[in-house]
Structures are given as structure tokens and as C-alpha cells.
């Protein structure tokens, strides 16, 4: 789980994964959700070097922690994969990569992903079909054109691939890819799309935190 971001867009005055929503930090909620998936053997959290907030934000976490975060998400994931190898995880073992800021992920959705991908030759990701009309912007706030949404899905996490394949894909793709599936696609593979849930939000903007707070307090 990459957890080394600074949360610049979230307006939280610090890393978004350490912000509280409904009385609990984002990262603690995320880890608690993953902990309810029996087939996840161990969770490794990738922190920024010198991070002193994680231990306070998630005091009950009993998994692995590595202060090896990179300058980009892809860099942090690559460093995390190397850390897993040092701890004995093999190239053909399955790895799930999940964003720390997706604290509303449902354990049932993660189980659905594992079921769909466990015998897949490539792996896959949680995603949801896009129902909204898509506009491409120009000059900041003007519509350049309308995009074809047929067949379009919004990617979520976790994303599930074998360690060796993902490691090779990230090494070739570099730090510009924003999710793991993109790197796998660049190698010529077609990851499996597994339907996720609409409330598996990635908390990015201030409004996302307000929505997550409402969902949690309503019990959704």
C-alpha cells in the first residue's frame, strides 16, 4: 500500500492519508478494510522517508512498514515490490496494490477481485463503468470536444498482478503511470476489469472528504 503522498490537492494541511474522517484516520480505515480480507496474507505499507505520522495514525497496525517511498506513486510501488522480495515474496506470487486514500473499499469487492484474477494469466483491477458524458477541456474551463464513453471504465484499486510481472512493467514504464494496470498494458497485456463499487472513492479533493464523512456517518 503506497502511503508516501503529500496530499497536495486535498486541502488537508498535510498528507491526506492522516486526516480524520468520522473520528478515525483515513489510513487506519483503509488498513482495517484490508484486514477483513482473509486471503490477504500480509500488508506492507510504503512510507516516505522520515515519516513520523503513520505510527500515530495507525497504532494497531501489525504488518510490515518500509520508509522507502519514491517521488511518484509508481516509484513507491516499485520500492514496495523490492521490499516484498527482500522479505521472501516470490516473483510468481500475487500482489494487490491499494491506495491508502481509498478507505471506503469493501472487503467483499476485494474478495471478488481475487476470485476473478486468481487463475487469470495477467491479473486485473477493480473498476466501474462510466455513465457520465465525458468532456475534454481546453483553455482550462472550455469544452474542446465530447469523448466517446462507450466501453469506458474508471479504474479503482486494489489492482492485482504477479510481483515479477508488475515489477518488470513498472521498470519499463517509469514514474509517469498513475496506476499499475497502465504499466501492465504498456507491456502488451490486457488486465481483467472486475466491477467495483461506486463508493470506493479515492479521496483527492476537499469535497471527497465531505462525501466520505457523510457516507460513513450514514452507515453506507
Domain with 204 in it: what CATH number?
A: 3.90.550.10
By residue range, what is the domain housing residue 213?
2-218
User: From CA 91, how far away is CA 112, in angstroms rounded?
Assistant: 23
What is the Cβ-side half-sphere exposure of residue 187, based on CA atoms within 13 angstroms? 19
Confidence of residue 32 (pLDDT cuts 50, 70, 90): very high
Q: How far is CA 88 from the centre of its chain?
A: 23
Q: Residue 38: exposed, middle, or buried by beta-carbon count in 10 A (0-12, 13-18, 19+)? A: exposed
Per the structure block, which three cell numbers stand in for 41? 496474507
pLDDT at 107: 98
Give SS3 for 203: coil
Helix, strand, coil % (nearest 5) of the chain?
35, 20, 45
Percent pLDDT > 70 in the chain is: 96
Which of 78-112 are b and which e, b meaning 16 or more Cβ less than 10 Å from the residue's Cβ? bbbbebbeeeebeeeebbbbbbbbbbbbbeebbeb
Percent pLDDT > 90 in the chain is: 89
Number of structural domains (the chain) is 1
Average pLDDT of the residues of the chain: 94
pTM, entire model: 0.93
What number of helices (H) and strands (E) belong to the chain?
7, 11
Per the model's pLDDT, the better-predicted residue between 14 and 61 turns out to be 61
Amino acid at each position: 500500500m503506497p502511503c508516501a503522498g503529500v496530499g497536495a490537492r486535498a486541502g488537508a494541511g498535510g498528507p491526506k492519508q492522516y486526516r480524520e474522517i468520522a473520528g478515525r484516520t483515513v489510513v487506519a480505515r483503509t488498513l482495517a478494510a484490508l484486514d477483513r480480507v482473509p486471503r490477504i496474507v500480509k500488508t506492507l505499507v510504503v512510507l516516505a522517508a522520515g515519516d513520523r505520522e503513520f505510527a500515530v495514525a495507525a497504532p494497531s497496525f501489525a504488518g510490515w512498514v518500509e520508509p522507502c517511498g519514491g517521488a511518484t506513486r509508481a516509484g513507491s510501488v516499485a520500492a514496495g515490490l523490492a521490499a516484498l522480495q527482500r522479505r521472501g515474496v516470490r516473483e510468481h506470487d500475487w500482489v494487490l496494490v491499494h491506495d491508502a486514500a481509498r478507505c471506503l473499499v469493501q472487503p467483499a469487492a476485494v474478495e471478488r477481485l481475487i476470485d476473478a484474477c486468481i487463475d487469470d494469466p495477467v491479473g486485473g483491477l477493480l473498476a466501474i463503468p462510466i455513465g457520465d458524458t465525458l468532456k475534454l477541456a481546453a483553455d482550462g474551463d472550455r469544452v474542446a470536444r465530447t469523448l466517446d464513453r462507450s466501453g469506458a471504465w474508471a479504474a479503482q484499486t486494489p489492482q492485482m498482478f504477479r510481483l515479477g510481472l508488475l515489477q518488470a512493467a513498472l521498470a519499463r514504464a517509469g514514474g509517469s503511470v498513475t496506476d499499475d494496470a497502465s504499466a501492465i498494458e504498456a507491456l502488451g497485456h490486457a488486465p481483467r476489469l472486475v466491477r467495483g463499487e461506486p463508493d470506493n472513492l479515492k479521496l483527492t479533493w476537499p469535497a471527497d472528504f465531505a462525501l466520505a464523512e457523510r457516507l460513513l456517518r450514514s452507515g453506507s
